[in-house]
Amino acid sequence: MIEFPGTEQEVLQLERFLTATETLPSDEGLEDMRTRALAHAERLSNAVNIGFAGEFGAGKSSLANMLAGADILPTGPQHLKLPLVIVAYADVPETTVGWWDKEPKIYSGIALEKAAADNPDFISVGLNTPALREISLFDLPGSGALDETYKPTLDLLKFVDCAIWCTNGTNAWRETERHLWAQVPSELRANSLLAVTHADLPPVRDSLDRVLTRMNKEKDGMFRAVVPIGTPVAVKAMAQEPEPDFALWEKCGGQHLAEHVLEAASNRRQNDLKAARKDLQQDFLPYLETLRGPETEQAADDGPSMHSTLGSALPPLNNPILEDWLAAITSIYEDLRESADIEPAAFLQSCQEIVEDFAERLEQGGEIDPDADWIPAEFEKATDLLLLLQFECGDAPLRDAISILAQLGDNLAWAGSTVAAAQSKTGT
pLDDT for position 71:
83
Do the Cβ atoms of 74 and 61 come closer than 8 Å?
yes
Q: Per the domain annotation, does 278 fall within a domain?
A: no
Concatenate the DSSP letters of all residues of 251-295 into one string: HTTHHHHHHHHHHHHHHHHHHHHHHHHHHIIIIIHHHHHHTT-HH
Beta carbons within 8 Å of 357's beta carbon, 6+ residues apart: 328, 426, 427, 428
Clarify whether residues 59 and 188 are in a common domain.
yes
Cα 331 to the chain's mean position, in Å? 36
Instruction: For strands 94-98 and 135-139, give the pairing.
Output: unpaired
pLDDT band at 13 (very low <50, low <70, confident <90, very high): confident
* Three-state secondary structure call for residue 414: helix
Same domain for 388 and 247: no
Q: pTM for this structure?
A: 0.68
Whether residue 406 lies inside any domain: the answer is: yes
- Per-residue pLDDT, averaged over 24-43, amounts to 94
Whether 231 and 316 share a structural domain = no
Q: How far apart are CA 12 and CA 19, in angstroms?
A: 10
Domain termination site, one of 220, 252, 284: 252
The whole-number pLDDT of residue 314 equals 40
CA 94 from chain center: how many Å?
20
Our count of domains for the chain comes to 2
User: From CA 192, how far away is CA 163, in angstroms rounded?
Assistant: 5
pLDDT for 347 beyond 90: no
How confident is the model at residue 313, as a pLDDT? 39
Same domain, 190 and 309: no
Provide the pLDDT for residue 115. 93
- The predicted-structure confidence for 118-173, as pLDDT tens digits, reads as follows 999 999 999 998 888 889 999 998 876 556 667 888 899 999 999 999 999 999 99
pLDDT above 60 for 297:
no
Is residue 15 in some structural domain? no
Specify whether 369 is located in the same domain as 233. no
| Helix runs in 159-219, H state only | 175-181, 186-190, 202-206, 208-218
In tens, the pLDDT along 206-241 reads 999 999 999 999 899 999 999 999 999 999 998 888
- 246 and 138, same domain (yes or no): yes
252: pLDDT strictly greater than 50: yes
Range(s) of the domain holding residue 75: 47-252
Asked whether residue 113 falls in the same domain as residue 223, the answer is yes
210 and 309 co-located in one domain: no
Which of 139-153, 263-277, 296-310, 377-391 shows the lowest per-residue confidence on average (mean pLDDT)?
296-310
| Per-residue pLDDT tens over the stretch 298-338 | 434 444 444 444 444 343 446 788 888 888 888 777 776 66
Report the residue count for the chain: 428
263 domain-assigned: no
Statement to judge: residues 66 and 157 lie in one domain: yes
Secondary structure class of 92 (helix, strand, coil): coil
- In 3D, which of 80, 90, 87 has the Cα closest to residue 64? 87
